């Protein structure tokens, strides 16, 4: 009996040990690389995990001496890995079995793609109804099915110029072959486009949270005669949210470039906006971190979908009123003016005038404003000036038509 | 009883204090810079207005002499006068005096949507009576095969507002029209001007823009009475400033002639009105500057720079009715206009004013919106337009 109990206890202990080996303790890392050389950063990061570095084709390459800018304290290794990878523009992979950090040139490692189909019947029906009532399609769009137009919108929002052709409209389904992360982004966009009130993407909400944290953590003001790198460090030194500068920006702006704007009264987010204007970069959220980048035309998961059904119905009425008395009243209708294009054109013109570089796409009565919360919130303000009512502040009394 | 009275007085005092807090009087300032380099003038202005000077990337050595003397004007207005005097973009943004070579897109600008449904409705009434201006214009050029683009009332109004902002204050904000709203992205000062212009266009009686009235008043001071003035070989700017001071007229010297006002010297002796003495200086010295108005004060500028110191709005609905009736009475020639609509609507009046002002050598732009005729020009051009309208049978609205 005693031997049996001993054997059971031993087996239990072995099973526990085996399970512990299968599920290693999650170890967080701290990566403070504001302008560090990529090679040194990789060695430090791997060292924190107890890994070796396999540089592969990067061995003896100049890439290892290029600077990266990453500031991420107490984050999961896979998050840090993505930030270092995008700042240094190299592909990185953690091989837990071999305890190795493997490095390759960017693009040589691609995640495993999966196939998934999305039923978009509700969206295409809404688009057809919009077109009947409000829009006179351009000749180029006239022969396109609503699902084909939707596919283009999805690709342009999420992938921009880098869009591949691995999406197919089949009837009222869209079929994509993408990585799991990319499929999640597509699903999010389609569900926001279908939502009655539109809404923020997860990345945009993260951007708002990051900026709020920055406002609380950073000092006010930007001293004169700072370098770009020094200004970034002053701004983000105590940021609780991870921050990184994407390689696209580091390729065109040097960290020792002068930051000529100086304003000791500006709040942290104003300072960030001043630096962004001076050095021509954009700010959004990626992998939970604040991202400074120049990938304006590469698509983004950071956007807001605005539902404009009620505004369009109101505008239709206004144009009808203004057409009274004219010999050809139809020429003055909202439909003749281009439907939602009237709003998109105005939005783009006003955002440009306010110093933004807007990217606005429309699908029926929905528009997608891409970018960080600075540009999205500026767009919301302009829409409110047009008479649009923000559903986020909706009292539940406003009428909604068009759906 | 005494206590109750005291309590009432205290309550009244407290309320008046609250009211004055609710509606603070805009800060005003007196400024006088006679040939002071822009760098020093801007620094002193910022100091006296308790604003922090933000020169951005403007080189600090700004040597253009500033000639400017104004009294009791708001800070934002004073900053705009500095723009006229220096040729730079000068904005008072609450805490700072922001100076730039060109207006910075984005900073100090915000978007506002103006609901113009009332004015757009009046445009519809006009179209019903006299036809759409774009359609009528297309009919008058039968050679064109393209269908005319018909502007809505709001689009026509937006075009007019942008023309006014450009001609009067050299401001070109981004402008979009969506339904019955006009969207403009510009600075706070310009938004105030837009509101003034829209209020003027919507008011039944029309009238002058406030800067036109104010500019006219300052110009009138120069002609008010005779003065005795003597100056021996003094800088031109100093002589001109002396005459404006004698007349108590606020003035600014446009940057196009600022250096000339410092470099050239003039001698003047005489007894006459300040306006006549100024004319005499120009005639004898052969100087290429003219006396006009800008932003509600007297402005001296180069003869080649456009001068549209203000604008006046004239309501012509009763006049148009009379003209329409007179066209109908004259239906004699087959193929000729049967009524005012066929003759071109309000454009008939606009053309007549343009021809007459041109003959008087009064530079002005004449535009229309529905039954409103808008004259953009110095006060004398606006007054000239009023006189021409009266000759057509227009009656000024009763006070």
Per-position DSSP letters for B241-300, written without gaps between them = HHHHHHHT--EEE-HHHHHHHHH-EEEEEEEEEHHHHHHHHHHHHT--EEEEEETTEEEE
pLDDT at A2: 60
Pairing of strands A303-307, A199-200: antiparallel
| Residue A83 clears pLDDT 90, i.e. is over it | yes
On whether the CB atoms of residues B318 and B329 are closer than 8 A, the answer is no
The dihedrals phi and psi of A165, each to the nearest 5 degrees, come to -95, 20
Q: What is the pLDDT of residues B247-259, one digit of tens each?
A: 999 999 999 999 9
Q: Which residues contact A237 (CB under 8 A, 6 or more apart)?
A: A71, A218
Residue A162 binned pLDDT confidence (cut-offs 50, 70, 90): low
CATH number for domain B28-100, candidates 3.90.79.10, 3.90.105.10, 3.30.70.2740, 3.55.50.30: 3.55.50.30
A326·B104 Cβ contact <8 A: no
| Residue B8 clears pLDDT 50, i.e. is over it | no
Mean pLDDT of B202-219: 92
pLDDT at B322: 92
Alpha helices in A259-339 (DSSP H): 268-279, 309-323, 334-337
Residue B7 binned pLDDT confidence (cut-offs 50, 70, 90): very low
| Residue B14 clears pLDDT 50, i.e. is over it | no
A325·B132 Cβ contact <8 A: yes
Q: Which residues of B touch A342 (CB under 8 A)?
A: 178-179
Q: How is domain B216-302 classified at the CATH fold level?
A: Phage tail protein beta-alpha-beta fold (3.55.50)
Q: What is the pLDDT of residues A286-338, one digit of tens each?
A: 999 999 998 877 888 999 999 999 999 999 999 998 888 777 778 889 998 89
B95, B113, B185 ranked by CB distance to A354: nearest: B185
On whether the CB atoms of residues B152 and B116 are closer than 8 A, the answer is no
B233 or A325: which leads in pLDDT: B233
Cα distance between residue A276 and residue A295, in whole Å: 13
| Residue B160 clears pLDDT 90, i.e. is over it | yes
Q: What is the pLDDT of residues A197-221, one digit of tens each?
A: 999 999 999 999 999 999 988 777 7
Cα distance between residue A255 and residue B194, in whole Å: 43
Q: Which residues of B touch A260 (CB under 8 A)?
A: 57
pLDDT at A264: 67
Domains of chain A: 29-105 (3.55.50.30), 204-293 (3.55.50.30), 303-393 (no CATH)
Mean pLDDT of B73-81: 92
Mutation pick from A276, A324, A385, A386 vs chain B, by most beta carbons of B within 10 Å, is A385
A16 or A153: which leads in pLDDT: A153
Q: Which residues of A touch B (CB under 8 A)?
A: 260-261, 263, 265, 277, 314-315, 318-319, 321-328, 331-332, 334, 342-343, 345-346, 349-350, 352-356, 378, 381-382, 384-387
Least confident of A135-139, A233-237, A244-248, A313-317: A135-139
The dihedrals phi and psi of B254, each to the nearest 5 degrees, come to -65, 145
Cα distance between residue A159 and residue A151, in whole Å: 11
Residue A190 C-beta-side C-alpha neighbours within 13 Å: 25
pLDDT at B211: 92
Nearest residue in chain A measured CA to CA from B176: A346
Q: Which residues of A touch B125 (CB under 8 A)?
A: 325
A25 or A76: which leads in pLDDT: A76
Residue A143 binned pLDDT confidence (cut-offs 50, 70, 90): confident
Q: Which residues of A touch B153 (CB under 8 A)?
A: 322
On whether the CB atoms of residues B207 and B313 are closer than 8 A, the answer is yes
Q: What is the Cα B113 distance to its own chain's centre?
A: 22
The radius of gyration of chain A from alpha carbons, rounded to an integer in Å, stands at 26
A385·B109 Cβ contact <8 A: no
Q: Domain map of chain B by residue range?
A: 28-100, 112-202+308-392, 216-302
Tokens representing residue B315 in the block: 């309501």
The reply to whether B216-302 shares the fold of B28-100 is: yes
Mean pLDDT of A78-84: 94
């Amino acid at each position: 009996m005693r031997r049996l109990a001993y054997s059971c206890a031993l087996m239990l202990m072995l099973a526990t040990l085996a399970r512990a080996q299968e599920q290693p303790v999650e170890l967080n890392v701290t990566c403070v690389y504001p302008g560090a050389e990529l090679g040194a950063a990789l060695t430090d990061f791997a060292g924190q995990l107890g890994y070796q570095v396999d540089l592969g084709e990067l061995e003896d390459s100049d890439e290892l001496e290029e600077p990266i800018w990453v500031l991420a304290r107490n984050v999961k290794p896979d998050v840090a890995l993505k930030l270092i990878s995008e700042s240094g523009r190299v592909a990185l992979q953690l091989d837990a079995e071999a305890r190795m950090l493997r490095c390759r040139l960017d693009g040589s490692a691609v995640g495993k793609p999966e196939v998934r189909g999305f039923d978009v019947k509700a969206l295409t029906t809404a688009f057809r109804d919009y077109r009947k009532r409000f829009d006179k399609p351009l000749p180029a769009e006239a022969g396109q099915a609503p699902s084909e137009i939707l596919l283009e919108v999805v690709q342009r929002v999420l992938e921009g110029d880098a869009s591949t052709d691995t999406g197919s409209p089949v009837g009222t389904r869209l079929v994509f072959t993408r990585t799991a992360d990319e499929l999640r982004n597509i699903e999010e966009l389609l569900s926001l486009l279908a939502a009655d009130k539109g809404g923020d993407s997860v990345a945009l909400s993260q951007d708002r949270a990051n900026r709020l944290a920055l406002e609380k953590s950073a000092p006010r003001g930007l001293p004169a005669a700072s370098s770009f790198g020094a200004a970034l460090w002053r701004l983000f030194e105590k940021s609780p949210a991870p921050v990184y500068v994407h390689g696209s920006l580091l390729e065109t702006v040097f960290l020792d470039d002068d930051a000529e704007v100086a304003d000791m009264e500006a709040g942290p987010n104003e300072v960030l906006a001043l630096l962004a204007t001076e050095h021509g970069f954009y700010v959004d959220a990626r992998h939970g971190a604040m991202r400074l980048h120049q990938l304006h035309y590469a698509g983004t998961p950071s956007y807001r979908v605005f539902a404009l059904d009620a505004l369009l119905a109101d505008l239709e009425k206004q144009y009808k009123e203004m057409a009274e008395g004219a010999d050809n009243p139809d020429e003055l209708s909202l439909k003749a003016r281009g439907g939602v294009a009237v709003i998109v054109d105005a939005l783009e013109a006003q955002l440009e005038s306010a110093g933004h570089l807007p990217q606005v796409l429309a699908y029926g009565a929905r528009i997608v404003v891409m970018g960080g919360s600075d540009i999205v919130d500026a767009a919301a303000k302009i829409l409110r000036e047009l008479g649009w009512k923000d559903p986020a502040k909706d009292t539940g009394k406003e009428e909604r038509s068009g759906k | 009883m005494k206590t109750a009275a005291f309590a009432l007085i205290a309550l009244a005092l407290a309320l008046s204090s609250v009211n004055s807090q609710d509606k603070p009087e805009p800060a005003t300032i007196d400024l006088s810079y006679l040939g002071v380099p822009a760098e020093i003038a801007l620094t002193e202005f910022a100091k006296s207005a308790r604003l922090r000077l933000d020169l951005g990337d403007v080189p600090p050595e700004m040597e253009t002499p500033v000639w400017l003397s104004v009294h009791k004007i708001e800070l934002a207005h004073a900053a705009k006068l500095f723009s006229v005097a220096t040729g730079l973009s000068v904005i008072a943004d609450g805490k700072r005096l922001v100076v730039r070579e060109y207006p910075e897109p984005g900073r100090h600008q915000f978007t506002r949507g103006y609901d113009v449904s009332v004015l757009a409705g009046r445009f519809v009434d006009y179209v019903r009576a006299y036809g759409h201006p774009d359609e009528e214009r297309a009919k008058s050029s039968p050679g064109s095969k393209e269908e005319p683009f018909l502007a809505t009332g709001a689009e026509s109004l937006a075009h007019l507002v942008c023309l006014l902002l450009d001609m009067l204050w050299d401001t070109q904000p981004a402008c979009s029209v969506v339904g019955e709203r006009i969207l403009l992205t510009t600075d706070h000062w310009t938004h105030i001007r837009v509101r003034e212009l829209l209020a003027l266009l919507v008011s039944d009686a029309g009238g002058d823009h406030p800067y036109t009235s104010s500019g006219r008043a300052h110009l009138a001071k120069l002609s008010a009475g005779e003065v005795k003035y003597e100056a021996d070989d003094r800088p031109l700017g100093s002589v001109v400033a002396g005459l404006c001071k004698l007349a108590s007229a606020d003035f600014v010297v446009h940057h196009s002639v600022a250096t000339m006002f410092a470099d050239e010297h003039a001698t003047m002796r005489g007894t006459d009105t300040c306006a006549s003495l100024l004319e005499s200086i120009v005639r004898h010295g052969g100087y290429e500057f003219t006396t006009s108005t800008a932003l509600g004060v007297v402005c001296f500028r180069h003869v080649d720079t456009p001068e549209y110191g203000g604008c006046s709005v004239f309501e012509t609905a009763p006049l148009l009715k009379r003209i329409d009736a007179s066209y109908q009475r004259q239906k004699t020639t087959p193929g000729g206009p049967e009524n005012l609509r066929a003759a071109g609507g309000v454009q008939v009046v606009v053309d007549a004013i343009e021809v007459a002002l041109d003959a008087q050598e009064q530079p002005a732009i004449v535009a229309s919106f529905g039954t409103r005729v808008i004259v953009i020009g110095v006060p004398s051009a606006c007054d000239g337009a009023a006189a021409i309208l009266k000759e057509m049978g227009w009656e000024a609205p009763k006070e």
